[in-house]
Chain A
Amino acid sequence: MFYHALDGNRVECKLCFRQCVILSGARGFCRNRENRGGRLINIVYGLPSAVHVEPIEKEPMHHFLPGSDVLCIGTAGCNFRCKFCHNWHLSQRSLEGMLFTYELPPEIVVAEVKKLGVPGISFTYNEPTAFYEYMYDVARLARANGIRIIFHSNGAMAIEPLQTLLTYTDAVTIDLKAFSERFYREICQAELAPVLLGLKTIKTAGIWLEIVNLVIPGQNDTPQEVREMTAWIKDELGPEVPLHFSRFFPNYRMTDVIPTPVSTLESCRKIAMEEGLKYVSVGNVPGHRYNSTFCPGCGKVVIRRHHFTVRYVKIDAGACRHCGHLIRGVWQ
């Protein structure tokens, strides 16, 4: 799916912003799309390496079936090279470097979800663009069986494949890793502009969208950058898109950076609220008061969270139980 044949058996991949030109026998930047005699094949199709049931709050996804579990699926490969990747064991390896894979064609995934009794499937852990064809087939089949579909992405998918996928998607979490080209270039070997375009595309499609921003001290935490980012979200995506500021801990190749001070996260939240965003939370700080969701109308807690634990939900028919203010999200 989504490539052009070129001369000499070369192909141009049209799946993400990179638009890799792939020689016969070679693979794209994502390590998964292989040119076999002029045909682009996704080599991880039906071969996930990580399959687990997780709380939906872990995505993070706060306004979509809170307190529920989802079946999470991930494979090898990624189209970014983030130096702080939490799941680098998966994302920064090729299929050959995998310790194991499960043979799980779409029908089996759907049957498994039904057996488990969970409401949905999340394509997560590594970048789902890297296993697009598999995700697309599972999503299509799952939707036909009444199963919800979400995915957690870096947002740099090309517009056409993204729009095609959104037809079978219920909700998306996007990592907006920073609001500077420098960060995307130096830390992720990627670009910011395609991510912003992807966010607008998801919003335009009317799919439930949440954004997560991992705040890395010294890299993406200046008040000015946070203000510009949150202003852009409000202007382009609307004030009701939930935004999660997440605490960073040293990881993978970024081990010389301090964990994010909690006051920095609180400052980020304050700026976002000042810019007019309605649902801004603080993540990776268990027990923090802003881990919960507050009603923009009365300011009271409508979803009390403790890390991944949902203690209560005070939303009835999409409205705050205290004041009746409409709380945007997918609650049933």
Chain B
Amino acid sequence: MKMLPAFQYIAPGAVVIGAVGIAAQVVLIRELLVVFQGNELVIGILLANWLITEAIGALMGARIARSKAPLIWYFWLLILSAIAIPLVIYAGRAAGIVIGIPQGAAWGFAEMLLVSLVLFAPISLPHGALFSLSCRLYPERNSESGATHIYVLETLGTLLGALFFTLLLLLQVNVMIIALYLALTLLALALFTAPLALRPPVQYAAATVLLVGLIAGLWLGPALDRSSLQLRFEETVVFSQNSLHGNLVVTRAAEQTTFFYDGRFLASAPLPDVVLAEEKAHFPLLAHQNPENVLLLSGGLGGIVGEILKHPVKNLDYVELDPLIWQAGKKFVPGWEDLLQKEPVRTLTGDGRLLLQRDLGDYDVIILGPLDPTTLHLNRLFSRQFFELVRDNLRPGGIFAFSVPGSLVYPGPELLELSRVLNHTAKEVFTQVFLIPGDRNLFLAFNGEAAGITAQIASTRLAERQIQALAVTPMYLDYRLDERRLAWAAELVSPAPALGRNTDFRPVAVYHMLAYWGAMFSPSVQAVFNTIKQLPTGLLLLILPLMGALLLFWLARKKSGLPGVALYATGSTGLAGMCAELYLLLTLQIMYGHIYLQMSLLLALFMAGGAAGGMLAQKWLKKGVSPLYVLVKTERTMLFVFLALLLISFLPFQYLGPAWTLIIFMFFSLLTGSLVGLTFPAAVHLQPEGKKTAGVLYAADLLGGWLGGLVAALFLMPLLGLRETLVVMMLIKAGSWLVLENHCRQQMVKG
């Protein structure tokens, strides 16, 4: 076998593979989230499938690495990954047609699970295998430090890839073009290794074919993007763009322009959902005696702005998070720009919660657009803390209007529980809360003396303000504000919610939204949610640590002691590290606002910490420090860091200011990442056959990370709370620390 000069090929190759891997993962997951119209649960499924296939790839790679020609495998796996990236994006958009899902119909749970697995495999299997092959081809292949070097370099690549991808999104580069650039990068790496892997004629032929294919691909990129999008939508796609916040697609059919955000219907023009827009605007404004100062938090594209301006409003502040909305609105909605330039309207781009924290002003009415608490970050707009913020920005007698999915007829258990939670949470903050049931249950929360709303009052004001509406007429008000129906709804939401109130640190509303999603798409998933919901809190707190302890016991016996414990430590550190990072990201959002750049920075520092930790461990191990000692110290420090993380959530961040807040979170992200990075090299050195088990440890690290993301986001954080989730992680890590500490003492005694 030919030996590759490490720093010419394999070392930079590991960085490139790491960078392309993370970018391809994010591109694909974002793309499939749009195709599946996914939520937190779908993110979990996608991450799981990615990590599982990557772990399988790493194990397969470990076997391939023992073959006679690992370099040829290395070359062809690079080619396979490169070709697969743009093809998989295309296939993802066409998958619905291939498996026979009627156009426009949403995906079921099993379909998502299988299709994402099939789509990820051509990229993540080779990606995982390339890690093991890189370890084998690395010059220091006979030592454990070779695996560690590759791990560190790949982590470094992951960091660079994440930053580069963020930059591409900032520049609004098309997804298909990003995929082609990623393919180009891998092909370039393959071409560098071609002279060593292939014979001259094959080498030249391969290089020519690849280069021609690539140039053709880049040239055809936009057309490829358009044609693949066309497979998803029956109508002509006239605009498709990704931003840091999401994906916006605009289609055109006859006179109508339709906007889809992250795959979900957002609005249509020129005629929007008239009933939704009118109810959302007129019900709260008619409930107020004199709505002069109004704040609209997103959703203006669906016609609400025009309806609000029918009232005697002197100032309307309209906030959107994603600048793409303004861009597309101006381009495709007739009269949109003129409407926004009207005297009372002031447009603001940014996070609504952050803007309110900066004390925007005193409002008579604040309307939250048709958003749902489908994710942990959107829950920030439905929590008790947010309600308090809204109340503090309302004048006495002011009204806050928000809505969630509901029904005018029969709500279903999941939606009713969601409405109960929000009703009770709002009642703790506002003087009085009214529910107007409908396809979207509309809550009107009053600050100060509650005037309420009746059909008679609303009709009188409608006449006084000379409002001409298409759906909201006096007769319609009689129907929608019928006392019997309002009393029915109030009675339904009055019992105390089973899971208590919705807060920033215990986002139970997300749990109910996930259960609602399960009810629509998968009764079996819904059954899981219902069962877990009924478990006592104490059991929820202890169930994972107990399962961890059993696994630890089994591994320690099966893998003759220390190697098994080290394997467990690697997996549980992956799990705890992921939870800690999730905790940091969510807490920062709660404290600081929904700001992608800062979040990217935090993630980048976590990865940089991982690389730094890996290098530090390498250095210590080279100096002869015992790997067991490194592992024990790492585990112990992790417990202290988690304790500190727990305490920082109680810091008065409002007094510290955004800069200090960010610095504190950046420090902890780096620290957590470095602890994760320290674990892997030490664990590798504790394995009897060194590098041969690197693939297994890598797989354990990945699986732990996946489990952490899934279990924390879906169950622990919504049901127990963010802080309590950290306690669970501390209990899990305490188990491996105690066992490792015991081994350490035994060795010292023997020594």
Taking beta carbons and an 8 Å cutoff, which residues of A are in contact with B? 49-50, 52-55, 74, 83, 87-90, 93, 97, 99, 125, 186-187, 216-219, 249-250, 252-259, 261-264, 285-287, 306-310
Ranked nearest first, the 3 interchain pairs of A and B with the lowest CB-CB distance are A257-B104, A287-B470, A218-B234
Give every chain A residue within 8 A of B222 (Cβ-Cβ).
Answer: none
Q: What separation, in Å, do the CA atoms of A88 and B278 have in the docked complex?
A: 25
| In contact, B412 and A257 (Cβ under 8 angstroms) | no
Q: What does the 1/0 interface line of B237-277 toward A look like (CB < 8 Å)? A: 00000000000000101111010100111001001011100
Q: What does the 1/0 interface line of B407-423 toward A look like (CB < 8 Å)? A: 11111110110000000
| In contact, B479 and A258 (Cβ under 8 angstroms) | no
Instruction: Supply 19 further A-B pairs (C-beta < 8 A) apart from A187-B102, A261-B255.
Output: A52-B409, A55-B479, A74-B410, A87-B407, A89-B409, A93-B412, A97-B413, A216-B104, A255-B37, A255-B106, A256-B265, A257-B104, A257-B234, A262-B255, A286-B278, A287-B274, A307-B275, A308-B475, A309-B476
Give every chain B residue within 8 A of A53 (Cβ-Cβ).
Answer: 482, 484
B473 interfacial contact with A, CB 8 Å? yes
Give every chain A residue within 8 A of B102 (Cβ-Cβ).
Answer: 83, 186-187, 219
Q: What separation, in Å, do the CA atoms of A257 and B251 have in the docked complex?
A: 10
Q: What does the 1/0 interface line of B432-462 toward A look like (CB < 8 Å)? A: 0000000000000000000000000000000
Give every chain A residue within 8 A of B254 (Cβ-Cβ).
Answer: 261, 263-264
CB distance from B243 to the nearest CB of A (A): 20
The residue of chain A having its C-beta at the shortest distance from the C-beta of B258 within the complex is A258
Task: Bin chain B's interface residue count.
Answer: 35 or more
| In contact, A258 and B520 (Cβ under 8 angstroms) | no
Task: Using A261-B256, A285-B271, A287-B274 as known contacts, say yes or no to A256 and B104 having CB atoms under 8 A apart.
Answer: yes
Q: What separation, in Å, do the CA atoms of A87 and B415 have in the docked complex?
A: 13
| In contact, B409 and A74 (Cβ under 8 angstroms) | yes
B235 interfacial contact with A, CB 8 Å? yes
| In contact, A307 and B232 (Cβ under 8 angstroms) | no
| In contact, A256 and B256 (Cβ under 8 angstroms) | no
B521 interfacial contact with A, CB 8 Å? yes
Task: Using A253-B521, A256-B104, A258-B235 as known contacts, say yes or no to A87 and B255 having CB atoms under 8 A apart.
Answer: no
The residue of chain B having its C-beta at the shortest distance from the C-beta of A250 within the complex is B265
Task: Using A219-B102, A285-B271 as known contacts, say yes or no to A256 and B413 having CB atoms under 8 A apart.
Answer: no
Q: What separation, in Å, do the CA atoms of A150 and B411 have in the docked complex?
A: 24
Give every chain B residue within 8 A of A264 (Cβ-Cβ).
Answer: 253-254
A-B contact pairs, 18 of them (CB 8 A): A52-B408, A53-B482, A53-B484, A88-B520, A216-B104, A249-B273, A256-B232, A256-B233, A256-B263, A256-B265, A285-B271, A286-B274, A286-B470, A286-B471, A306-B476, A307-B473, A309-B475, A310-B475
B626 interfacial contact with A, CB 8 Å? no
CB distance from A118 to the nearest CB of B (A): 12
| In contact, B415 and A89 (Cβ under 8 angstroms) | yes
B103 interfacial contact with A, CB 8 Å? yes
Q: What separation, in Å, do the CA atoms of A216 and B234 have in the docked complex?
A: 11
CB distance from A267 to the nearest CB of B (A): 9
The residue of chain A having its C-beta at the shortest distance from the C-beta of B405 within the complex is A89
Give every chain A residue within 8 A of B103 (Cβ-Cβ).
Answer: 218-219, 256-257
The residue of chain B having its C-beta at the shortest distance from the C-beta of A116 within the complex is B484
Among B104, B260, B265, B484, contact of A219 (Cβ-Cβ < 8 Å): B104
Q: What does the 1/0 interface line of B390-420 toward A look like (CB < 8 Å)? A: 0000000000000000011111110110000
Among B251, B275, B521, contact of A286 (Cβ-Cβ < 8 Å): B275
Task: Using A125-B410, A255-B265, A258-B258 as known contacts, say yes or no to A307 and B106 having CB atoms under 8 A apart.
Answer: no
Give every chain B residue within 8 A of A253 (Cβ-Cβ).
Answer: 105-106, 520-521
CB distance from A120 to the nearest CB of B (A): 17
Task: Using A125-B409, A287-B470, A307-B473 as known contacts, say yes or no to A217 and B234 having CB atoms under 8 A apart.
Answer: yes
| In contact, B470 and A307 (Cβ under 8 angstroms) | yes
| In contact, B409 and A217 (Cβ under 8 angstroms) | no
Give every chain B residue within 8 A of A219 (Cβ-Cβ).
Answer: 102-104
Give every chain A residue within 8 A of B408 (Cβ-Cβ).
Answer: 52
Among A87, A256, A286, contact of B105 (Cβ-Cβ < 8 Å): A256
| In contact, B475 and A262 (Cβ under 8 angstroms) | no
Give every chain A residue within 8 A of B533 (Cβ-Cβ).
Answer: none
Q: What separation, in Å, do the CA atoms of A187 and B106 have in the docked complex?
A: 12
CB distance from B391 to the nearest CB of A (A): 31
CB distance from A324 to the nearest CB of B (A): 29
B226 interfacial contact with A, CB 8 Å? no
B633 interfacial contact with A, CB 8 Å? no
Among A259, A306, A309, A310, contact of B273 (Cβ-Cβ < 8 Å): A259
Q: What separation, in Å, do the CA atoms of A285 and B413 have in the docked complex?
A: 30
Q: What does the 1/0 interface line of B463-489 toward A look like (CB < 8 Å)? A: 000000011010110010010110010
The residue of chain B having its C-beta at the shortest distance from the C-beta of A76 within the complex is B410
Give every chain B residue within 8 A of A93 (Cβ-Cβ).
Answer: 412
Residue of B37, B265, B485 with most partner-chain A CB within 10 A = B265
CB distance from B457 to the nearest CB of A (A): 19
| In contact, A89 and B268 (Cβ under 8 angstroms) | no
| In contact, B106 and A50 (Cβ under 8 angstroms) | no
Give every chain A residue within 8 A of B410 (Cβ-Cβ).
Answer: 49-50, 74, 87, 89-90, 99, 125
Q: What separation, in Å, do the CA atoms of A54 and B475 have in the docked complex?
A: 12
Q: What separation, in Å, do the CA atoms of A87 and B439 have in the docked complex?
A: 10
Q: What separation, in Å, do the CA atoms of A99 and B408 have in the docked complex?
A: 15
The residue of chain A having its C-beta at the shortest distance from the C-beta of B37 within the complex is A255
| In contact, A217 and B235 (Cβ under 8 angstroms) | yes
Give every chain A residue within 8 A of B104 (Cβ-Cβ).
Answer: 216-219, 254-257
Residue of A89, A255, A257, A261 with most partner-chain B CB within 10 A = A89
The residue of chain B having its C-beta at the shortest distance from the C-beta of A88 within the complex is B520
The residue of chain B having its C-beta at the shortest distance from the C-beta of A93 within the complex is B412
CB distance from A186 to the nearest CB of B (A): 5
CB distance from B489 to the nearest CB of A (A): 11
| In contact, A217 and B253 (Cβ under 8 angstroms) | yes
The residue of chain A having its C-beta at the shortest distance from the C-beta of B270 within the complex is A262
| In contact, A287 and B471 (Cβ under 8 angstroms) | yes
CB distance from B145 to the nearest CB of A (A): 51
Give every chain B residue within 8 A of A257 (Cβ-Cβ).
Answer: 103-104, 234
CB distance from A75 to the nearest CB of B (A): 10
CB distance from A266 to the nearest CB of B (A): 10
Give every chain A residue within 8 A of B251 (Cβ-Cβ).
Answer: 258
CB distance from A77 to the nearest CB of B (A): 12
Task: Using A219-B102, A250-B265, A258-B268 as known contacts, say yes or no to A90 and B409 having CB atoms under 8 A apart.
Answer: yes
CB distance from B486 to the nearest CB of A (A): 12
| In contact, B268 and A259 (Cβ under 8 angstroms) | yes
Q: What separation, in Å, do the CA atoms of A83 and B258 have in the docked complex?
A: 21
Q: What separation, in Å, do the CA atoms of A258 and B237 have in the docked complex?
A: 12
Give every chain B residue within 8 A of A87 (Cβ-Cβ).
Answer: 407, 409-410
Q: What separation, in Å, do the CA atoms of A93 and B409 have in the docked complex?
A: 15
CB distance from A85 to the nearest CB of B (A): 10
CB distance from A199 to the nearest CB of B (A): 24
Q: What separation, in Å, do the CA atoms of A76 and B256 have in the docked complex?
A: 36
Q: What separation, in Å, do the CA atoms of A10 and B37 have in the docked complex?
A: 43
Give every chain B residue within 8 A of A285 (Cβ-Cβ).
Answer: 271, 274
Q: What separation, in Å, do the CA atoms of A262 and B270 have in the docked complex?
A: 10
Q: What separation, in Å, do the CA atoms of A55 and B477 have in the docked complex?
A: 12
Q: What separation, in Å, do the CA atoms of A258 and B257 have in the docked complex?
A: 9
| In contact, B485 and A52 (Cβ under 8 angstroms) | yes
CB distance from B472 to the nearest CB of A (A): 9
| In contact, A258 and B265 (Cβ under 8 angstroms) | yes
Residue of B104, B235, B411, B479 with most partner-chain A CB within 10 A = B104
Give every chain A residue within 8 A of B411 (Cβ-Cβ).
Answer: 89, 99
Task: Using A255-B265, A256-B104 as known contacts, say yes or no to A263 and B473 having CB atoms under 8 A apart.
Answer: no
Q: What separation, in Å, do the CA atoms of A256 and B258 have in the docked complex?
A: 11
CB distance from A251 to the nearest CB of B (A): 9
Give every chain A residue within 8 A of B105 (Cβ-Cβ).
Answer: 83, 187, 253-254, 256
Give every chain B residue within 8 A of A287 (Cβ-Cβ).
Answer: 274, 470-471
